[in-house]
Structure 1
Amino acid sequence: MTRAPTNVPAAEVSPERHASWLELFFDLVAVAGVAQLAHLLHGEPGWHDVGLYVVLFLAFWTNWLFLTLYGNVAKENTHVRRLLAGMFGLTVMAAAVPGVQEGGKGTAFAVAYTATRFLGRTAFRDRREILLDWPTVSLRVGAIPWLVSIWVDGPARPWLWTAGVALDLYFTFALSQSRLLQRLQEQREHLSLRHALFGETGDGTPGREGTVTLAHTDTEHLAERLGLFTLIVLGEGVVQLVDAGSGAEWDARFFAVLSGAFLLLVLLWSLSLRRGRGGIPGLGNDAPPARLLLALHCVVTGALAALAAALGVTVEHVDGRLPQQAAWLMASASGAYLLVATALTHRTRPGRPTRLLTAALPALALCAALGLTDGADHRPVASVWALVAALGWFAWWTRETQAAEPHRTEEAENSPR
């Protein structure tokens, strides 16, 4: 007989649960992955490079998320070998990013993605669970274009990857909880019928009770893991500054850019982790549905990784003009971050629209001005400090959101262990 409760209580959350040593070790692959993906945006990236970055970041983040959700739900029952195998798959994906448009490395990336995706899916299948919070962990459709791309070379391959990512995004938000519950009910009836007619369960084993249950995430533990990923991305920004600064001439302009870029990362850290939740700026305790929360995390971390790469390019060009593409990338990434922060701050404190507009509009206008300015006027020092002014202005005018939830500072300082 199959259990399929229609009214599922919220998952019991232990306030003492933190990321395990295994999960922290697994998250190390994010360091390598983000670092390699950032290299796609070095130099003077074109639209094709930016598009490839978006697709590959979504692919890497999705596979990281599938295995993170598995550990979140399985808790102490997490299979160590499965998680380590997924870690190896993500490592191969990261290593294949440089030259991913070449035949061999592109094939390796597709194979590693498909295999890691299979690990994440089978983890929930073996547990006989359907995760309502992110339903694509149980679906295969998004992996099909990636599987096909293993045998396809040339310009068609990135388009197949784009199709796979698009299918995942579509089904993530198209499958409502009611439709998933209906699907679960149909499975229950099918298994009950097979048991009545043949004396077997859905896995084909006579006499065993087949159970398909609904799984829910541990929201506090998931927020910690998401915050750790964001912290890793911000750390990559520091690495970009160090790498670029090691080959630059250390003069007054260099220190002006370096100090501004570092202050910018500090502001992003404060907004995301001290005054946000799960690494997402402006997010309060009344979090949106898990699907939207995870989607926002993907947007924020993708923007932060792109901004980190652009900051590295800025330090490299400290003695000259900043390339138009780098300035546009910095402006776009900062603007996307601010839009998310503005929307979530409004959701947290809807009663102060005038103050929020005072914070958001000048900050967004500065980002737009930087992105639309002619390339000949892009000076590294002015560009970096314009973004510092934009983020600093926003942080100053929205500072009362932290005071509204005084426990947030204590959580930020005490977690993770």
Structure 2
Amino acid sequence: MMGVAEWFSGGIVRGSLDACPERKVDWLELFFDLFFVVIISQLAHGFADNPTWGGFREFVFLFASTWWVWIAGTYFNERFKFPGTANTIFTFLQMLPVAGMAIFVHHGMGDNFVPFEVCFLTSRVLLTLMWLRGGLNNQHVAPLTNRIVLWFIPALTLYLIAIFISPPARYIIWVAGLLADALTPVFAHTGIKIALPKFGSGWLAERYGLFVLIVMGETLVGVVRGASEAHTVGFTTFIAAILGLAMSFGVFRIYFDFIGRRNPRKPLWWMLTWSNLHFVLVMSVVVTGVGLLRVVQLQDYWLADDHIRALLAGSAAVTLIVIALLETTMQPGEGPALHPVRSPLFKVVAGMIAAAICAWGTGITPLPLLVLLLALNYVHLLYHPGWENAEAKE
């Protein structure tokens, strides 16, 4: 039976200094991710109901808060593991405030700001205490964990102050807290020499890939919800739904063919860049789902709609350009043989074309818009096998 000391210990550091341990994402981590899926679904539906610049700002603000809770918990769980049932208990404790965030995320910058941010702050305080406990139980990493805790405190203070301040100042203070949190890994690791165990081999790619896959489900939800809520379901509705599903599938293939199987470069700056690019990518995928929902709901597919063009073409541009940038952060020698310049450049050009459509394609109606964006996506799937075949011939 587990003793009291083991229950309240800070866990042990995962891995070794000499090798990258093989560790797969476990079922508990995947269950934890489902709470974030609920939040993201709520955010997508809220943005779909208010596809304006104000709605977009609210979406980005709440999404950034949600992303930071997920990524902070993810990295902690990779650094430390708890014995036996303690792992389940502490993960469940992390789930409780996240569940609260899911409840209050609707109107999270309005009437529900205070309860949403209290849940967010509770999650951050809990994780900060867990970092402190991790250092107490593992003295060889205590200098680093203590610095992480110290750098978390200014952000936590800003979050607490924001709760008692009236808008719009509260939002500015909250964003300052998010920036302070995001910079914590940089400042905490600067000027300190501690040999930390390596992350599990393939763990980062798998962990982020699974989360991206779960979020991509929102694009499918957008198509299905749009078709089910359409005023009349006719032939053009089915065509729009098929094109929407094809677009979702194209984004899925591009990510997992070019990015999903590869790890980032080892230095900290590359890893942070890789992680932050995923933040933008996941957000753009959610916006794609919002655009697909609205386009399938339309009654007249031959009437230009500026909101739909901005959502679909804008998110396609961001997705393609971010995937191109992600390619430059990949560990050399992993995945398919792709040209280090031509492959990302090809995606940047396609992304710029999508951006031009977003900015100046005012006369393009929804169905032709979907066809154009599909072409910009699927051209990479034709390009990609050619490089793999070239590698095989060599």
TM range (shorter): 0.7 to 0.9
CA 1:357–1:101 in 2, change beyond 3 Å: closer, same or farther? closer
User: Residue in 2 aligned with 1:144?
Assistant: 157
Match of 1:122 among 105, 113, 129: 129
User: Residue in 1 aligned with 2:222?
Assistant: 240
SS in 2 for 1:45: coil
Q: Where do residues 13-412 of structure 1 align in structure 2 (5 Å cutoff)?
A: 13-15=20-22, 17-75=23-81, 77=83, 79-103=87-111, 105-128=112-135, 129=141, 139-173=152-186, 175=187, 177-181=189-193, 214=196, 216-248=198-230, 249-277=232-260, 283=262, 286=265, 289-320=270-301, 321=303, 323-345=305-327, 351=339, 353-354=341-342, 357-358=345-346, 360-361=348-349, 363-373=350-360, 375=362, 377-400=363-386
CA 1:346–1:247 in 2, change beyond 3 Å: closer, same or farther? same
CA 1:317–1:308 in 2, change beyond 3 Å: closer, same or farther? same
- Where does structure 1 lack aligned partners over 5 or more consecutive residues? 1-7, 185-212, 407-417
CA 1:60–1:358 in 2, change beyond 3 Å: closer, same or farther? closer
User: Residue in 1 aligned with 2:8?
Assistant: none
Aligned-partner Cα distance in 2 for 1:11–1:234: 36
Aligned-partner Cα distance in 1 for 2:163–2:367: 45
CA 1:177–1:333 in 2, change beyond 3 Å: closer, same or farther? same
Cα deviation for residue 145 of structure 1 reads: 2.1
Task: Provide Cα deviations, 1:25-84, integer angstroms capped at 9, x if missing partner.
Answer: 111112101101112321452223222221211110111111111221224546322211
Cα deviation for residue 312 of structure 1 reads: 0.9
SS in 1 for 2:202: helix
Task: Provide Cα deviations, 1:290-339, integer angstroms capped at 9, x if missing partner.
Answer: 22221122111111111111111111125254542332122222111111
Contact 1:263 1:388 in 2 (8 A): yes
Aligned-partner Cα distance in 2 for 1:401–1:61: 34
Q: What code does the residue aligned with 2:313 have?
A: A
Q: What code does the residue aligned with 1:36 have?
A: Q
Aligned-partner Cα distance in 1 for 2:176–2:238: 44
Q: What code does the residue aligned with 1:392 have?
A: Y
Query: What TM-score comes out, normalization by structure 2 length?
Result: 0.80
Aligned-partner Cα distance in 2 for 1:96–1:219: 37
Matched pairs, number = 359
CA 1:63–1:221 in 2, change beyond 3 Å: closer, same or farther? same
Q: What code does the residue aligned with 1:385 have?
A: V
Q: What is the Cα-based RMSD across aligned positions, in Å?
A: 3.1
Aligned-partner Cα distance in 1 for 2:38–2:287: 15
CA 1:145–1:327 in 2, change beyond 3 Å: closer, same or farther? farther
Q: What code does the residue aligned with 1:309 have?
A: V
Q: What code does the residue aligned with 1:35 have?
A: S
Aligned-partner Cα distance in 2 for 1:266–1:287: 30
SS in 1 for 2:117: helix
Task: Provide Cα deviations, 1:222-250, integer angstroms capped at 9, x if missing partner.
Answer: 32221111011111111111111102222
Contact 2:114 2:163 in 1 (8 A): yes
User: Residue in 2 aligned with 1:5?
Assistant: none
Contact 1:41 1:310 in 2 (8 A): no
Task: Provide Cα deviations, 1:320-375, integer angstroms capped at 9, x if missing partner.
Answer: 545423321222221111112223445667856456545542x2243123212354
What is the percent sequence identity of the aligned residues?
A: 23
SS in 2 for 1:258: helix
Task: Provide Cα deviations, 1:125-178, integer angstroms capped at 9, x if missing partner.
Answer: 111046989x867622223222112222333322222222222334444x2744
CA 1:290–1:368 in 2, change beyond 3 Å: closer, same or farther? closer
- Where does structure 2 lack aligned partners over 5 or more consecutive residues? 1-14, 136-140
Aligned-partner Cα distance in 2 for 1:153–1:11: 51
